[in-house]
Amino acid sequence: MTLLAAKVAAARAVGSLARRAGRGGGTSLPGKVLLALEPEAIRELAARLARGSVVISATNGKTTSAAMVASVLARAGVPAVHNRAGANMAGGVASALLTAARPGGGISGELGLFEVDEFWLDRVVPQLEPRGILLGNLFRDQLDRYGELDTIADRWAAVVAGDQAGRAARLVLNADDPLIADLGRDAPSVTYFGVEDPSVAIPEMQHASDSKHCRRCGAAYVYDVVYLGHLGVYRCTSCGAARPAPSVAAERIALDGTSGSSFDLVTASGRSRVELSLPGLYNVYNALGAAALCLSLSIPIDVVVSGLREVQAAFGRAERIAIGEVELQVLLIKNPAGANEILRTLVIEPAELDLLAVLNDRTADGRDVSWVWDADFEMLASRVRRVTCAGTRAGELAVRLKYAGVPPDRLHVVAGVAAALDAALAEAPSGRLYALPTYTALLELRGVLAERGHTVPFWEPAPV
């Protein structure tokens, strides 16, 4: 047994002990143990992957984008080593590799597919030496944990510009996000993707929009089209920096409320209709990034399209669960840009909405709840029938909704997620209830649903 094999075995033993001890969220623990024993473990194990690795990061949508790529890879017959939803720091990446490692220097899987936390990208990329890096977007998120947006953008720029591994990778970048697109300016190998459909534009920039100023010269960008947050068609009138033309584009986008979406995937080689069971323009962006990454891996476009069609929502990402007569749809909210897209998708629904909104302020949610004031809950003002508010900061959320213009008699604060779910279900004659939980609230909600015997899809909680 080689030294690495011994360390792999030791880390696995810790993982199975933790599982037997009934500790939840143990997915990253074996990886953490392995990295403590062998700091170069990710590099050594990833080197066994015959087709190399790809890395996905973004503030919003990295879990869904990775699930989409996984679906395409499955369709293409490429066995992947994938850190599924959540475990996206070094420990999670190492755990996925550890699980796949085989004795004698082998590994079960050909391609590594790794979702990586924004703050871990610069530590994980040099180890993985990925062949492709998909960067989807950067939004204001958990300032108490992540710091300023500029700080993350600078760290990402260092990954793709300074580091050997970063420079060797093909970058797949969102042309519509100026912070992201700028990363490709001097890179040797870049694919840009973007939306080309003014019919889904929003009339003006939303309040929480970031990056309104040119990363190069500091002047204000001029936006000809705004699609989502600060994503759109922009240019700097001072230094001339502008949105690069996307070579993988979404045209003729159709948004079907909370039910799904579709678009034309347009590349140099033609046009294909993509049908998604995931709703909203944000999922069109996720699919577009996933498609661009898969195409860069030389996967045929018809395989990409059929792989995307088969993607089912991860838990908390627009998953539907039948509870008696009521269909519950769970939509994770965690930052202003993401919440805005959820709200935008909800208000397309014609009927008045019944909502269960759960705001927690635990570490994984961000202790600072100020973000709910940056999200445009005003969209809901005349659209809700009842909102049941719960969570450690239920009152704050109710106040936010009240000041957004929701009549106070439609706002109900109920302590405890289980009691709030019951109250919301009992008061949902429409037959549809939308749950909007923050991250740890999603875990609680999942626990309550599982206890009651409802089928909840495979999902791993992230390490915190």
Partner 1 sequence: MPELRVCALYPDLMNIYADRGNLLVLERRCRWRGIDFSVTGSGLGDRLDPDVADLFYIGGGQDRDQTLCARDMAEIKRDALHAAAARGAVILAVCGGYQLLGHSYQLGEETLPGVGLVDLITVRSDAPRLIGNAAIEVELEPGAPRVLAGFENHGGRTRLGAGATPLGRLLRGHGNNGEDGHEGVRRGNVIGTYLHGPLLPKNVWFADWLIRAALGLGEPLAPLDDRLEAAAHAEARQAAGV
In the complex, which residues of this chain contact partner 1 (CB under 8 A)?
A: 140, 143-144, 147-150, 207, 212-213, 218, 361, 367-374, 392-396, 398-400, 402-403, 408, 411, 413
- Using the minimum distance from each CB to partner 1, give the nearer residue, 213 or 383: 213
Contacts of 402 (CB under 8 A, 6+ apart): 408, 411
- Using the minimum distance from each CB to partner 1, give the nearer residue, 53 or 209: 209
* Bridge partners, residue 386, by sequence: 354
- As a whole number of angstroms, the distance between CA 405 and CA 411 comes to 11
- Using the minimum distance from each CB to partner 1, give the nearer residue, 41 or 333: 333
- Using the minimum distance from each CB to partner 1, give the nearer residue, 191 or 440: 440
- Using the minimum distance from each CB to partner 1, give the nearer residue, 108 or 151: 151
CB of 274 to partner 1, least distance (A): 35
CB of 155 to partner 1, least distance (A): 15
CB of 390 to partner 1, least distance (A): 12
CB of 119 to partner 1, least distance (A): 15
- As a whole number of angstroms, the distance between CA 442 and CA 154 comes to 31
The structure tokens listed for 281 are 């323009």
- Using the minimum distance from each CB to partner 1, give the nearer residue, 315 or 439: 439
The structure tokens listed for 300 are 């045929």
3-state per-residue secondary structure call for 145-199 = HHCCHHHHHHHHHHHHHCCHHHHHCEEEEECCCHHHHHHHCCCCCEEEEEECCHH
* Bridge partners, residue 270, by sequence: 267
The structure tokens listed for 353 are 């909405």
CB of 356 to partner 1, least distance (A): 17
CB of 396 to partner 1, least distance (A): 4
- As a whole number of angstroms, the distance between CA 416 and CA 16 comes to 32
- As a whole number of angstroms, the distance between CA 445 and CA 451 comes to 10
Closest to 43 in 3D by CA, of 14, 74, 4, 86? 4
> What is the DSSP-derived secondary structure letter of residue 268?
T
**CA Rg, the chain, in Å?**
22
- Using the minimum distance from each CB to partner 1, give the nearer residue, 409 or 451: 409
- Using the minimum distance from each CB to partner 1, give the nearer residue, 70 or 394: 394
Closest to 344 in 3D by CA, of 212, 231, 255, 252? 255
Q: Contact at 8 Å (CB) between 54 and 86?
A: no
CB of 144 to partner 1, least distance (A): 5
The amino acid present at 12, given as its one-letter code, is: R
- Using the minimum distance from each CB to partner 1, give the nearer residue, 367 or 454: 367
- As a whole number of angstroms, the distance between CA 32 and CA 225 comes to 44
CB of 195 to partner 1, least distance (A): 24
Closest to 348 in 3D by CA, of 263, 282, 255? 255
CB of 121 to partner 1, least distance (A): 20
CB of 124 to partner 1, least distance (A): 24
Contacts of 329 (CB under 8 A, 6+ apart): 258, 318, 319, 320, 321, 432, 433, 434, 435
CB of 229 to partner 1, least distance (A): 14
Q: Contact at 8 Å (CB) between 313 and 259?
A: no
- Using the minimum distance from each CB to partner 1, give the nearer residue, 406 or 424: 406
- Using the minimum distance from each CB to partner 1, give the nearer residue, 148 or 310: 148
Helix (H, G, I), strand (E, B) or coil at 273: strand
> What is the DSSP-derived secondary structure letter of residue 315?
T
Q: Contact at 8 Å (CB) between 87 and 114?
A: no
